[in-house]
Amino acid sequence: MTSESPTGILRKEHEIVLKLLDNLEKCLEKSDMKSSGRNITVLEGEFSKHSLNKEEKALFPEIEKFMPREGGPTGMMIMEHEDLVNSIKNCKDAVKTGNIERLNENGSHIIELLRQHIGKEDNILFMMAEMHLDGKQKKAVLEKFKKFDKK
C-alpha cells in the first residue's frame, strides 16, 4: 500500500496495543499470573518495535527537524516510553518471583499510562506530524519502518 502514511500505520498499531491492554486488564482482575505474563511478553515485543524503533528511530527524528526534542512533545513521549520499559521489566520480574502485588501495581500503571500516552500521540503529536512532514520525509520514515518490520 503505497498511499499509507507513517502516522496511519502507527495509529493502526495503537489499536493493537489498546487491545493488549484490555486483555492485560482482564488477566489482572482475575489475578491470572500466567496469562498476565504471556500478555506482558507480547506487549513488550509490540512496544519495542512500535515505540522504541518506529517512533523513536524513524518518526520522531523527522518531527524534531521542526520541533526541538528538549521541552517538546517528542521529549515528553520518550520519557514516557522509558517509564513504560521500566514498568514492563518490573512486571516480568514480578511474574518470575510470583509477586502478585508488584505485578498489579506495575500492570495498572502500564494500562493507565499507555492509554493516555496513545491518546496524546494520536490526537496531538501525529496531527502535528501530518501537518508538517513533507512527502520526502514521509517516504524516509516509511523506508525505516520496512527495515524494522523485517527484524
Query: Residue numbers of the site for Fe ion (CB under 5 A)?
Result: 121
Q: Tell me how far apart the alpha carbons of residues 34 and 12 are, in angstroms, rounded to a whole number.
A: 27
CA distances from 139 to 62, 76, 132 (A): 11, 25, 14
Supply the minimum distance, in Å, between the C-beta of residue 51 and Fe ion.
5
Q: Tell me how far apart the alpha carbons of residues 16 and 90 are, in angstroms, rounded to a whole number.
A: 22
Q: Tell me how far apart the alpha carbons of residues 100 and 125 are, in angstroms, rounded to a whole number.
A: 35
Supply the minimum distance, in Å, between the C-beta of residue 50 and Fe ion.
6
Q: CB nearest Fe ion: which residue?
A: 121
Residue 62 vs 121, nearer CB to Fe ion: 121
Biggest CA–CA distance in the chain, Å, is 50
Supply the minimum distance, in Å, between the C-beta of residue 32 and Fe ion.
26
What phi and psi values does residue 31 have, to the nearest 5 degrees?
50, 35
How many CA within 13 A on the CB side of residue 8? 7
Supply the minimum distance, in Å, between the C-beta of residue 55 and Fe ion.
5
Residue 90 vs 126, nearer CB to Fe ion: 126
Residue 25 vs 121, nearer CB to Fe ion: 121
Residue 60 vs 106, nearer CB to Fe ion: 60
